[in-house]
Amino acid sequence: MTSEAATGAGSIPAAQRTALIERFRRPMTLGNVVRDLPPGFVFAALVSLALVAASRGGFIWPPAICLGYIVIAFVAGVGRTFLVNFLRMALIVGGILFLARSATQPGTTVYFTIGALRVTRESVLAAGQFALFVVSVSGALILLFALVPIKKLMLALEQSGVTPRATFVVLASFQSIINLGNHSRVVAAAQESRGIEMGGSIPRKVKAFFAILAPVFLAAMGETEERALALDARAFGARARHTHLVTLRPSPVGLRILGIVLFLAGIASIVGAVTRWF
Partner 1 sequence: MPNESRFVRFLRGYGRLTIFMIPIGIAINIVGGQIAILTKLPLYLDSIGTILIGALCGGIPGAIVGGVANIINAITAPTQLPYSLLSIMFGVLAGFLSRRGFFTKFWKTLVTAPMFSLIGGVLGAIITLILFGGFSGAGTDFITASFVAAGVPITPAVFLAAVPVDLIDKIPTVILVYLILGRIPDRLLTKVPLGYVYLRKNVTASTPSKPAEAKTAADA
Q: Which amino acid is at 190?
A: A
User: In the bound complex, what is the minimum distance in angstroms from residue 185's beta carbon to partner 1?
Assistant: 9
Kindly state the smallest distance separating residue 256's Cβ from partner 1, in Å.
Answer: 24
Please answer whether residues 174 and 150 qualify as being in contact, where contact means their C-beta atoms are separated by less than 8 angstroms.
yes
Nearer to partner 1, 32 or 163 (CB): 163
Question: Which stretches does DSSP call E strand in 56-159?
Answer: 110-114, 117-120
Could you tell me the smallest distance in angstroms from the CB atom of residue 232 to partner 1? 7
> Least distance in Å: CB of 226 to partner 1?
10
Q: Which is nearer to partner 1, 218 or 260 (CB)?
A: 218
Name the residue among 215, 211, 233 with its Cα closest to residue 223: 215
Q: What's the burial of 155, exposed, middle or buried (CB within 10 Å: 0-12/13-18/19+)? A: buried
Cβ proximity to partner 1, 125 vs 255, nearer residue: 125
Q: How many residues does the chain have?
A: 278
Q: How far is the CB of 10 from partner 1 (least distance, A)?
A: 37
Residue 68: C-alpha distances to residues 33, 65, 171 (Å): 17, 5, 30
Least distance to partner 1 from the beta carbon of 150, Å?
Answer: 9
Write down the least CB distance from residue 4 to partner 1, Å: 37
Please report, as ranges, the residues that interact with partner 1 according to CB under 8 A.
85, 88-89, 92-94, 96-97, 99-101, 103-104, 114-117, 130, 134, 137-139, 141-142, 145, 163, 165-166, 168-170, 172-177, 179-181, 184, 188, 198-199, 202, 205-206, 208-210, 212-214, 216-218, 220-222, 224-225, 227-228, 231-232, 237, 239-240
Question: Do residues 48 and 91 touch, judged by C-beta distance below 8 A?
Answer: no
Query: Which C-beta is closer to partner 1: that of 64 or that of 100?
Result: 100
In 10 A of CB 72, how many CB atoms?
A: 20
Cβ closest to partner 1, residue 21 vs residue 229? 229
Cα–Cα dist 94/142, whole Å: 14
Q: Left (φ > 0), alpha (ψ -120 to 50) or beta: where does 184 sit? A: alpha
CB-based contact 213:186 (threshold 8 Å)? no
Report the candidate in 45, 64, 38 with the shortest Cα–Cα distance to residue 53. 64
Pick between residue 219 and residue 267 the one whose CB is nearest to partner 1.
219
Closer CB to partner 1, 24 or 210, in the complex: 210
What does 14-59 look like in DSSP terms, one character per residue?
HHHHHHHHHHHHSPP--SSTTTTS-HHHHHHHHHHHHHHHHHH-TT
